[in-house]
Amino acid sequence: MAKVVLKKKIDTQTTALSEVKSYARKIWLAGLGAYAKVGNEGGEYFKELVKSGQDIESKSKKVVVEQLDAANSQIDQVRRSVSGVSRVVEVQLDKVEKAFDTRVASALNRIGIASKHDVETLSAKLEELTALLERVARKP
């Protein structure tokens, strides 16, 4: 009985080894076939690949240009919107600044501090008086 088991093991190993050899030979033959086919048809196949590459490149460039134009258009729209908003903000800031100036001037006037206009008026009158005094002082 021991001999039968041993023979069965050897037969299994031999069959597996022959299958591996057969498969390795098929791989080798496939490689040789591919090499021969490329050698025979390689030039034409290369030209087809180049043509396909050129077609894809031109289509890709077209898509990129379209997307770039769309992005630039959106940027222009946003720029116009921001420009319009900035003008509105400037107008509103001017209004707020004028209202603030008016309220501060009113508060300063209530506590007795002269405004810029009052100081300018007094300065003009002082200059007139100084000029008048200088003329009077020269007449003797």
Measured in whole angstroms, the distance separating CA 56 from the mean position of its chain's CA atoms is 26
* Domain residue ranges in the chain: 9-113
Q: Taking CA 75 as the corner, what is the angle to CA 69 and CA 78, rounded to the nearest 5 degrees?
A: 145
Query: What single DSSP character describes residue 114?
Result: P
* CA within 13 Å, CB half, 132: 6
* pTM metric for this prediction: 0.36
pLDDT of residue 129: 92
pLDDT of residue 13: 64
pLDDT of residue 31: 81
pLDDT tens across the length of the chain (140 residues): 445 444 555 566 677 778 888 888 888 888 888 777 777 676 777 778 778 889 989 998 999 999 999 989 999 888 888 888 888 888 888 899 999 888 888 888 888 888 888 889 999 999 999 999 998 888 76
